[in-house]
Structure 1
Amino acid sequence: MTGDLVFFVSGGMLFLACLLKLPAVVRTRGRDWLLSSICALLLVGSGVLFLTAPSAVTFLRRATGVTNIAVPAIYILLTAFSGASIVLVLNWRGGPDILQTRRLSRLTIWIYGTCCVLIAVLFALGNTPVEERFRFDTYYATTPYIREMIALYVVAHAAATFTASRLCWRWSHEVHGTLRTGLRILAAGYLMHYAGYDPAVAVAVGARWAGHNWDFLIEFARLMTAPSAVLVAAGFMIPLLGQRGEEAVRYWQLGPLAHALRPVEGASSPVLLALPWWRPHMRLRLTQRQTFISDRIVSCKGYFDARIRDEARAAALARGAAHETASAIAEAAMIAAAVELHRHCSREGFTPAPAESGQNVGHTADLAHISRVVRSPIVRDMKRRVRTDARA
C-alpha cells in the first residue's frame, strides 16, 4: 500500500482539479472547448495515475484474466493524456483565429485518437504470455507487434510532451501572476517526461534491439513518473485555485470599507442570490461587495470635501506614512466624513449643499488599499470630529 500512496495522491490531485471544473462544463454543455479539454486531460491523467499503482495493475489482471492488460491500458491513457495536453494549451492560450485553433485541436484529437486505436490493435495482435509489471518495455522489445506498439507510444508521448512544454514556456513570458507560475510548473513537468522518461525508455528498448541489457533505465523512467505528474497537477491547479484565492483575499480586504459604508441609507443594493454551501461562488460574492461599496460611494459623493482629504493626507505624511498610504488614508477619511454627514442629514431630514470641492474617489488609491486604512487613527479622529461638528 505504501508504494501505491504516491500514485493515489497524485491521481487524487488531478481528479480534484477535474471536479472543480466539472460544474462549469455541465453549464456550458460541452460547448466550451477550453473547459472540456481541461476536464478531459485531468480525468485521463487521474486515470493514468490510479491505474499505474501496483495494486491496481494486479486487480485489473485478475479481473480481466488477460496477462499484461494494464500495459496497453496505461499506454492508451498516457497517449490520450498527451493529445489532451496539446488541445488544452491550444485552447487555453486562444488567439485571434478561433477557427484555426479549432482545426488544430481536431487534428490533434484525430492523430492521438488513431494512436490509441493502433496501440490496442497491436497489443491484440502480439503475444505477451509472461506477466511483466516493471520491465515490459524491454522484455518484449523484440516481440512482433509489441515492439511497434512500444515505439508508437514512446514517439507519440515524447512529441506531445515536447510540444506542450514548449507552448507553456513560450506563453508564460506573455502573462503574469499565478497563470505564469502554473505555466512554468507545467513546462517543467512536461520537460521531465520528454527529457527524462521518454529518452530512458527509448534507450533501454534500443539497447535490447542491439542485444544489450540496460533495464536499469526503466527503473529510472519509473522514478520520473510520479514527480512529473505532481508538477503537472500543480501546474493546472495553481492558476485555478490562485484566481479564487485572489478573489477571496480581495473580498476579505474590502470588508472594512463595506462595513464603514453600511450606515448609508437609500443606496441601491445588489440582489443577493441564494448561493449553495457546496459552491463558494467567490467571484459573485466579490462582485456583490464591490457593487455594494460603489453604490454607497456614489450616494455620498455630494458630501466629499477636498479640504478633509488634504488635511488627512498632511497628517499622514507628518506621521511618516508613505505617499501611497497617505493618499489612501486621505480618501478613507473623506469617505468616512461623507458617511457621517450623509447619516446626520438623513436623520435630520434635510440635505445641505455639497462641499465646494466634491471629489471622485479611487483616483489615487485602490479600494482595497483604502479599506485597509479605513480604521486608522487619522480616519477615526476625522470621523469623530465631523460627527461632533454635525451635531453642533
Structure 2
Amino acid sequence: MNGDFGFYLSGGLLLLACLLKLPALIRARGRDWLLSSICALLLVGAGVLLTAAPSSIVFLNRVTGVTNIAAVSVYILLTSFSGASIVLVLNWRGGPDVKQTRRLSRITIAIYGTCCVVIAGLFWLGNADVEQISKFDSYYATTPFIREMIVLYVLAHAAASLTASRLCWRWSHEVRGTLRTGLRVVAVGYLMHYAGYDPAVMGAVAARWTGANCDFLIDIARATTAPSAVLVSVGFIIPLLGPRSEEAVRYWQLAPLARAVRPVQGAPSPVTLSIPWWKPNLRLRLTQRQTYISDRIVICRDYFDIRIRNEARAAALAGKATEEAAAVIAEAAMIAAAVELHRSTNGQNSLPPRPAEPARAAFSRDLAHISRALRSPIVKDISRRTRTETAGA
C-alpha cells in the first residue's frame, strides 16, 4: 500500500479539483470550451494516477478477468491526458479567431481519440497473457502488436508534452502575474513528462530490443508520473485562483487601516450584505472594507496637515528609507494624526483648531501601502504624540 499512497493522494486531489468545477460546468452546459477542457484534464489526470497505482492494477486485472487490462487502460488514459493537454492550452490562450481554435481542438481530439482506439486494437491483437504490475513496457518490448502499442502511446505522449511545454513557456513571456506563474509551472510539469517519463520508458524498451536489461528506467519513469501530473494540473488552476488570492491578500492587508479609522464618527454606516460562509465573496468583502476606510478618511480630510506629512517624510529619509517608502510613511502618519485630531473633537470640529488652509494636504497613495506603513515607528510616534497633545488641550 505504501507504493499506492502517492498515486492515490495525487489522483484524489485532482479529482477533488474537478468536482469543485463540476457545478460551473453543469451551468455552462457545454458552451464553455475552456472550462470543459479544464475539467477533462483534471478528470483524466485523476484517472491516470488512480489507475496506475499497483493495487489498482491488480484489482482491475482480477475484476475484469483480462490479464494486463489495467496496463492498456493506463495507456489510453495517458494518451487522453496528452490530447486534453493540447486542447486546454489551445482554448486557454484563445485568440481572435474562435472558429480556428475550435477547429484545432476538434482535430486534436480526433487524432488522440484515434490513437486511443488503435492502442486498444493493438492490445487485442497482441498476446500479453503474463501479468506485469510495474514492468509491462520492458517485459513486452519485443512482443508483436504490444510493442507497437507501447511505442505509439509513448510517442503520442511525448509529442503532446513537448508541444504543450513550448506553447506555455513562450506564452509566459507575454503575460504577467499568476497567469505567468501558472504557465511556467505547467511548462515544467510537461517538461518532466517529455524529459523524464518518455525517455525513461523508451530507454528501457530499446534496451530490450538490443538484448540488454535496463528495467530500472521503468521505476524512474513511474517516479515522475505523480509529481509531473500534479504540477501540470496545479499550473492550470493557479491563474483561476489568482484573482481570488490577490483579493484575499489585499483584504488582509487593509485590516490595520480599517482598525485605525474605526474611531472616526460621522461616516455613513456601511451597507453590509449577508454572505453565506460557503460563498466567500472576497471581491464584495474587499469592496465593503475599502468603502468603510475611504468614508472615514473623507471625514478626516480637513485635519490632513502637510506639516505632519513633511515631518514624517524627513524622519523616514533620515532612517535610510527610499523616497517611495518615505512618501507612504508620511501619508500614513498624516492620516493617523488626522484620526486622532478628529476623535479628540468627537466629530464637532471644535478642538483643536484645524490647520490653516495652505497647510492642508490630500493623500494619494494606495490604501494597502498606507495600511502596511502604520507599523512604522515613525507613524506610531506621531500618532501617540498627537493623542497626548489633544488630551492635554
Please indicate the TM-score interval, normalised by the length of the shorter structure. Answer: 0.7 to 0.9
> Shift in Å at residue 166 of structure 1?
0.8
One of 360, 363, 367 as aligned partner of 1:361: 363
SS at structure 1 position matched to 2:357: coil
Q: Does 1:102 align with 2:102?
A: yes
Deviates more, 1:155-164 or 1:27-36: 27-36
Deviates more, 1:18-27 or 1:110-119: 18-27
Alignment partner, residue 123 of structure 1: 123
Pairs aligned (count): 388
* Alignment-mate amino acid for residue 92 of structure 1: W
Q: Does 1:175 align with 2:175?
A: yes
Alignment partner, residue 84 of structure 2: 84
Do the aligned residues in 2 keep the contact of 1:123 with 1:149 (CA within 8 Å)?
Answer: yes
Looking at structure 2, the residues matched to 32 and 355 of structure 1 have their Cα atoms a distance apart, in angstroms, of 60
* Alignment-mate amino acid for residue 275 of structure 1: P
Which structure 2 segments of 5+ residues have no match?
none
Looking at structure 1, the residues matched to 89 and 251 of structure 2 have their Cα atoms a distance apart, in angstroms, of 30
Alignment partner, residue 111 of structure 1: 111
Looking at structure 1, the residues matched to 128 and 164 of structure 2 have their Cα atoms a distance apart, in angstroms, of 33
Do the aligned residues in 2 keep the contact of 1:308 with 1:333 (CA within 8 Å)?
Answer: yes
Cα distance, 1:219–1:334 mapped onto 2, change above 3 Å: closer
Cα distance, 1:106–1:222 mapped onto 2, change above 3 Å: same
Q: Does 1:212 align with 2:211?
A: yes
SS at structure 2 position matched to 1:348: coil
Alignment partner, residue 8 of structure 1: 8
Do the aligned residues in 2 keep the contact of 1:329 with 1:379 (CA within 8 Å)?
Answer: yes
* Alignment-mate amino acid for residue 51 of structure 1: T
Cα distance, 1:70–1:338 mapped onto 2, change above 3 Å: same
Looking at structure 1, the residues matched to 332 and 173 of structure 2 have their Cα atoms a distance apart, in angstroms, of 37
Do the aligned residues in 2 keep the contact of 1:193 with 1:224 (CA within 8 Å)?
Answer: yes
Cα distance, 1:349–1:138 mapped onto 2, change above 3 Å: closer
Cα deviation code 1:135-178 (max 9, x no counterpart) = 32344445454344323212211110111111122122233444
* Alignment-mate amino acid for residue 117 of structure 1: V
Report the TM-score when normalising by structure 2.
0.83
Looking at structure 1, the residues matched to 46 and 356 of structure 2 have their Cα atoms a distance apart, in angstroms, of 63
Do the aligned residues in 1 keep the contact of 2:203 with 2:214 (CA within 8 Å)?
Answer: no
> Shift in Å at residue 215 of structure 1?
4.9
* Alignment-mate amino acid for residue 266 of structure 1: A
Cα distance, 1:226–1:382 mapped onto 2, change above 3 Å: closer
Looking at structure 1, the residues matched to 274 and 355 of structure 2 have their Cα atoms a distance apart, in angstroms, of 35
Cα deviation code 1:185-210 (max 9, x no counterpart) = 322221222223223333444555x5
Matched-pair identity in %: 69
Looking at structure 1, the residues matched to 93 and 53 of structure 2 have their Cα atoms a distance apart, in angstroms, of 33
Alignment partner, residue 165 of structure 2: 165
Alignment partner, residue 195 of structure 2: 195
> Shift in Å at residue 51 of structure 1?
0.8
Do the aligned residues in 2 keep the contact of 1:40 with 1:84 (CA within 8 Å)?
Answer: yes
Cα deviation code 1:335-369 (max 9, x no counterpart) = 2233345556664388999962554423xx43222
Looking at structure 2, the residues matched to 95 and 300 of structure 1 have their Cα atoms a distance apart, in angstroms, of 48
Looking at structure 1, the residues matched to 167 and 300 of structure 2 have their Cα atoms a distance apart, in angstroms, of 50
Deviates more, 1:378-387 or 1:8-17: 378-387
Report the TM-score when normalising by structure 1.
0.84
Looking at structure 2, the residues matched to 116 and 297 of structure 1 have their Cα atoms a distance apart, in angstroms, of 64
> Shift in Å at residue 251 of structure 1?
2.1
Alignment of 1:325-364 (within 5 A): 325-343=325-343, 347-348=347-348, 356=357, 359-362=361-364
Looking at structure 1, the residues matched to 227 and 347 of structure 2 have their Cα atoms a distance apart, in angstroms, of 65
Looking at structure 1, the residues matched to 250 and 107 of structure 2 have their Cα atoms a distance apart, in angstroms, of 41
> Shift in Å at residue 84 of structure 1?
1.4
Looking at structure 1, the residues matched to 47 and 362 of structure 2 have their Cα atoms a distance apart, in angstroms, of 55
Q: Give the CA RMSD over aligned residues.
A: 3.3
Looking at structure 2, the residues matched to 165 and 67 of structure 1 have their Cα atoms a distance apart, in angstroms, of 35
Deviates more, 1:282-291 or 1:353-362: 353-362
> Shift in Å at residue 259 of structure 1?
1.2
Cα distance, 1:266–1:27 mapped onto 2, change above 3 Å: farther
> Shift in Å at residue 81 of structure 1?
0.9
Alignment partner, residue 275 of structure 1: 276
Alignment partner, residue 266 of structure 1: 267
Which structure 1 segments of 5+ residues have no match?
none
> Shift in Å at residue 255 of structure 1?
0.5
Deviates more, 1:332-341 or 1:80-89: 332-341
Cα distance, 1:267–1:334 mapped onto 2, change above 3 Å: farther
Looking at structure 2, the residues matched to 43 and 163 of structure 1 have their Cα atoms a distance apart, in angstroms, of 21
Do the aligned residues in 2 keep the contact of 1:302 with 1:355 (CA within 8 Å)?
Answer: no
Cα distance, 1:91–1:287 mapped onto 2, change above 3 Å: farther
Do the aligned residues in 2 keep the contact of 1:270 with 1:291 (CA within 8 Å)?
Answer: no
